[in-house]
Structure 1
Amino acid sequence: MTTPRPCWALPQELRDERILSLLRDLVRINTEHAAPAPGAPYGEGCELALRRALLECESRGMRTSRLGQKVGIAEVGDRGPLVAFPVHLDVVPAGAGWTRDPYGAQVEDGMLYGRGCMDNKIGAAVMIELVGELWERARAATGLPCRIRIIFGTDEETGMSDLREYVDSGCELPSLGFVPDATFPLVRGEKARLHLVLTCDDVDLPAGLSISGGTAANVVPDSAQATLPDGTTVRASGKSAHGSTPERGQNAICALLRELAGTPEVSGDVVCLFERLFCRDLTGAALGIDVPDDEFGHTSVNLGVLEAQGRRVRIELDVRFGSGISEDEVVSRLQGALGARWDVRVAMSKQLHLVPEDDPCMRALLAAYERVTGELGTTSVMAGGTYASLLPALVAFGPKLPGTHTGAHGIDEHVLLENISKATDIYEVALEALVELSA
Structure 2
Amino acid sequence: MTIDWKKEVEQRQDALLEDLKELLCVKSEREDDKVTPDAPFGPGPRDGLLKMLSFGERDGFTVKNVDNYAGHIEFGEGDETLGIFGHMDVVPAGDGWDTDPYEPVIKDGKIYARGSSDDKGPSMAAYYAMKIIKELNLPLSKKIRFVVGSDEESGWGDMDYYFEHEARPDFGFSPDAEFPIINGEKGNISLLVHTPVSNEGEYQLIDFKSGLRPNMVPGTATAVIEVPQDQVDTIKTALEAFVEANPVTASITEAANQLTIELVGKGAHGAHPSAGINAGTYLALFLNEYDFKAGAKNFLQVAAEYLHLDLEGEKLQIAYNDEKMGELTMNASLFSFEKDQKEATVNLNIRYPQGTTEVELKQGLADSIGQFDVTVTEEPHHMTPHYVPVEDPLVATLLAVYEDHTGEKGYEQIIGGGTYGRLLERGVAYGAMFPGYTDTMHQANEFMELDDLFRSAVIFADAIYRLAK
Q: Are residues 401 and 343 of structure 1, via their aligned partners in 2, closer, same or farther at CA, if it must alter by over 3 Å?
A: same
Q: Secondary structure at the match of 1:209?
A: strand
TM score, norm. by length of structure 1: 0.89
Most deviating of 377-386 and 231-240:
231-240
1:162 to 2:193 alignment: no
Alignment-derived partner of residue 150 in structure 1:
146
Alignment partner for residue 287 of structure 1, among 316, 322, 328? 316
1:227 to 2:254 alignment: no
Alignment-derived partner of residue 367 in structure 1:
400
The CA distance in 1 between the partners of 2:87 and 2:463, in whole Å, is 20
Alignment-derived partner of residue 307 in structure 1:
336
AA at the equivalent of 1:190: E
Per-residue deviation at 1:273?
4.2
Alignment-derived partner of residue 215 in structure 2:
218
Q: Are residues 329 and 166 of structure 1, via their aligned partners in 2, closer, same or farther at CA, if it must alter by over 3 Å?
A: farther
Alignment-derived partner of residue 347 in structure 1:
379
The CA distance in 2 between the partners of 1:15 and 1:6, in whole Å, is 15
Q: Secondary structure at the match of 1:94?
A: coil
Alignment-derived partner of residue 318 in structure 1:
349
Per-residue deviation at 1:233?
4.6
Per-residue deviation at 1:218?
2.5
TM score, norm. by length of structure 2: 0.84
Q: Are residues 374 and 97 of structure 1, via their aligned partners in 2, closer, same or farther at CA, if it must alter by over 3 Å?
A: same
Alignment-derived partner of residue 127 in structure 2:
128
Per-residue deviation at 1:178?
1.1
Q: Secondary structure at the match of 2:39?
A: coil
Q: Secondary structure at the match of 1:303?
A: strand
- Structure 2: state its 5+ residue gaps: 229-257
Alignment-derived partner of residue 26 in structure 2:
29
The CA distance in 2 between the partners of 1:269 and 1:123, in whole Å, is 44
Alignment-derived partner of residue 104 in structure 2:
105
The CA distance in 2 between the partners of 1:95 and 1:260, in whole Å, is 24
AA at the equivalent of 1:318: N
Q: Secondary structure at the match of 1:186?
A: coil
The CA distance in 2 between the partners of 1:276 and 1:101, in whole Å, is 37
Give yes or no for contact 1:228–1:234 (8 Å, CA) kept in 2.
no
Q: Are residues 205 and 294 of structure 1, via their aligned partners in 2, closer, same or farther at CA, if it must alter by over 3 Å?
A: farther
The CA distance in 2 between the partners of 1:52 and 1:209, in whole Å, is 45
Alignment-derived partner of residue 186 in structure 1:
181
Give yes or no for contact 1:6–1:428 (8 Å, CA) kept in 2.
no
The CA distance in 1 between the partners of 2:156 and 2:394, in whole Å, is 24
The CA distance in 2 between the partners of 1:269 and 1:416, in whole Å, is 45
Give yes or no for contact 1:106–1:112 (8 Å, CA) kept in 2.
yes
Percentage identity across paired residues of the two chains: 29
Give yes or no for contact 1:9–1:134 (8 Å, CA) kept in 2.
no
AA at the equivalent of 1:145: S
Task: Map 1:392-403; keep pairs closer than 5 Å.
Answer: 392-403=425-436
Per-residue deviation at 1:309?
4.1
The CA distance in 2 between the partners of 1:100 and 1:106, in whole Å, is 8
AA at the equivalent of 2:153: E
Alignment partner for residue 277 of structure 2, among 243, 250, 270? 250
AA at the equivalent of 1:24: K
The CA distance in 1 between the partners of 2:322 and 2:308, in whole Å, is 22
The CA distance in 2 between the partners of 1:330 and 1:202, in whole Å, is 24
The CA distance in 2 between the partners of 1:187 and 1:344, in whole Å, is 31
Q: Are residues 375 and 252 of structure 1, via their aligned partners in 2, closer, same or farther at CA, if it must alter by over 3 Å?
A: same
Alignment-derived partner of residue 196 in structure 1:
191
Give yes or no for contact 2:299–2:344 (8 Å, CA) kept in 1.
no
Q: Tell me the alpha carbon deviations over residues 300-346 of structure 1, each in whole angstroms, 9 at most, x when there is no partner.
A: 11112223345632221111101121122222332344439544222
Give yes or no for contact 1:54–1:64 (8 Å, CA) kept in 2.
yes
The CA distance in 1 between the partners of 2:327 and 2:316, in whole Å, is 13
Alignment-derived partner of residue 51 in structure 2:
52
Per-residue deviation at 1:232?
4.5
The CA distance in 2 between the partners of 1:9 and 1:255, in whole Å, is 48
Q: Secondary structure at the match of 1:421?
A: helix
Most deviating of 190-199 and 228-237:
228-237
**Superposition RMSD on alpha carbons, in Å?**
2.6
Per-residue deviation at 1:432?
1.9
Per-residue deviation at 1:41?
1.6
1:382 to 2:404 alignment: no
Give yes or no for contact 1:72–1:152 (8 Å, CA) kept in 2.
yes
1:334 to 2:365 alignment: yes
Give yes or no for contact 1:300–1:320 (8 Å, CA) kept in 2.
yes
Q: Are residues 40 and 5 of structure 1, via their aligned partners in 2, closer, same or farther at CA, if it must alter by over 3 Å?
A: farther
The CA distance in 2 between the partners of 1:53 and 1:300, in whole Å, is 34
Q: Secondary structure at the match of 1:133?
A: helix
The CA distance in 2 between the partners of 1:250 and 1:163, in whole Å, is 32
Per-residue deviation at 1:379?
1.5
AA at the equivalent of 1:434: L
The CA distance in 2 between the partners of 1:175 and 1:11, in whole Å, is 28
Alignment partner for residue 14 of structure 1, among 7, 11, 14? 11
Per-residue deviation at 1:117?
1.7
The CA distance in 2 between the partners of 1:217 and 1:57, in whole Å, is 32
Q: Tell me the alpha carbon deviations over residues 2-60 of structure 1, each in whole angstroms, 9 at most, x when there is no partner.
A: xx962788734322222112111111222122322341122223222222222221232
The CA distance in 1 between the partners of 2:102 and 2:299, in whole Å, is 44
AA at the equivalent of 1:177: G
Q: How many residues align?
A: 429
The CA distance in 2 between the partners of 1:108 and 1:384, in whole Å, is 28
- Structure 1: state its 5+ residue gaps: none
Per-residue deviation at 1:180?
0.3
Give yes or no for contact 2:176–2:432 (8 Å, CA) kept in 1.
yes
Most deviating of 218-227 and 54-63:
218-227
Give yes or no for contact 1:195–1:217 (8 Å, CA) kept in 2.
yes
Alignment-derived partner of residue 40 in structure 1:
39
The CA distance in 1 between the partners of 2:39 and 2:260, in whole Å, is 40
Q: Tell me the alpha carbon deviations over residues 203-260 of structure 1, each in whole angstroms, 9 at most, x when there is no partner.
A: 6766623451312332222333251443445554422222211112222222233333
Give yes or no for contact 2:268–2:441 (8 Å, CA) kept in 1.
no
AA at the equivalent of 2:332: L
